[in-house]
């Protein structure tokens, strides 16, 4: 499973990208607005930090303007994925951008029927929002299960399932079990994936025992360097 960061915070992206575990980034107008910086500049900088896909979202709702915005965004860097909404105009734009060789992320997917349309339009990624479905009493993971199952039936569907609106580590685990190719998550959720109380407890015990020996693995190296 590929991990994308859902943020426009450059410092967070740099820090987590250094782990080698970040495969891409997703942004949206709200996330970029929080940075207080120029939209194009932020997206271009993110593209320089990560080599994987970076989703940059259009803001128009009509097809002609959305297409013009998408073409401009696609020129920022080779790893841009133009993000469009799952609307008739968005899918029309997706179809044209796909034909022009651009990666497209179709966002705001809330049903399997919508996901089928995104795949038929040539979307590189479809972004079903699991957390927002959970919020209204529906099952976000049931939607992921349906989309993954449907896509597997058709070799012509090349669209990857990019699970969005991830709220906690179990969303990541469940999506991975279902076979979703990508999970995009806030930095806080990715950091939570590292955590387990038994890991902390075990490490503390190992370090305490090691301290009692009075040894240092780098001790000799330090002495040699000092000479």
C-alpha distances in angstroms, 103 versus 4, 74, 184? 15, 8, 16
Half-sphere CA count of 191, side-chain side, radius 13 A: 7
pLDDT beneath 70: ranges in the chain = 220-227
Q: What pLDDT, on a 0 to 100 scale, did the predictor assign at position 221? A: 61
Q: What pLDDT, on a 0 to 100 scale, did the predictor assign at position 198? A: 98
Backbone angles phi, psi at 113, to 5 degrees: -60, -45
Structure tokens at 132: 């927002």
11 three-class SS: helix
First to last CA, the chain: 48
Q: What pLDDT, on a 0 to 100 scale, did the predictor assign at position 222? A: 56
Q: What is the spatial distance between Cα 88 and Cα 202, in angstroms, rounded to a whole number?
A: 54
**Is the domain 2-195 a CATH 3.90.245.10 member?**
no
Q: What pLDDT, on a 0 to 100 scale, did the predictor assign at position 80? A: 98
Structure tokens at 1: 């499973």
Q: Which of 72, 83, 177, 222 is catalytic?
A: 83
Backbone angles phi, psi at 92, to 5 degrees: -65, -40
Q: What is the spatial distance between Cα 15 and Cα 32, in angstroms, rounded to a whole number?
A: 18
DSSP characters over 93-139? HHHHHHHTT-EEEEEEE-SHHHHHHHHHTT-SEEEEBHHHHHHTTS-
Q: Which residues contact 29 (CB under 8 A, 6 or more apart)?
A: 39, 57, 59
Q: What pLDDT, on a 0 to 100 scale, did the predictor assign at position 92? A: 98
Q: Is position 83 annotated as part of the catalytic site? A: yes
Q: What pLDDT, on a 0 to 100 scale, did the predictor assign at position 192? A: 98
Please state at what angle helix 88-99 crosses helix 63-74, rounded to 10 degrees: 40
Q: What pLDDT, on a 0 to 100 scale, did the predictor assign at position 172? A: 98
59 three-class SS: coil
Residue with token string 């994987």: 52
Q: What pLDDT, on a 0 to 100 scale, did the predictor assign at position 49? A: 97
pTM as predicted: 0.92
């Amino acid at each position: 499973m590929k991990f994308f960061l859902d943020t426009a915070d450059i410092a967070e992206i740099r820090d987590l990208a250094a782990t080698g575990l970040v495969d891409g980034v997703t942004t949206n107008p709200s996330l970029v607005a929080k940075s207080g910086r120029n939209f194009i500049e932020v997206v271009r900088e993110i593209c320089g930090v990560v080599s994987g896909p970076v989703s940059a979202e259009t803001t128009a709702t009509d097809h002609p303007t959305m297409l013009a915005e998408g073409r401009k965004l696609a020129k920022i860097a080779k790893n841009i994925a133009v993000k469009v909404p799952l609307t008739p105009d968005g899918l029309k734009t997706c179809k044209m951008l796909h034909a022009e060789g651009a990666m497209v992320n179709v966002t705001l997917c809330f049903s399997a029927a919508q996901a089928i349309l995104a795949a038929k339009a040539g979307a590189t990624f479809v972004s079903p929002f699991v957390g927002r479905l959970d919020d209204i009493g529906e099952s976000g993971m049931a939607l992921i299960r349906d989309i993954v199952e449907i896509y597997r039936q058709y070799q012509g569907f090349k669209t990857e399932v990019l699970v969005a609106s991830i709220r906690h580590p179990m969303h990541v685990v469940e999506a991975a079990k279902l076979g979703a190719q990508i999970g995009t998550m806030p930095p806080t959720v990715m950091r939570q994936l590292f955590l387990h109380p038994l890991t902390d407890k075990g490490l503390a015990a190992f370090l305490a025992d090691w301290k009692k020996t009075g040894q240092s693995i780098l001790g000799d190296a330090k002495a040699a360097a000092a000479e």
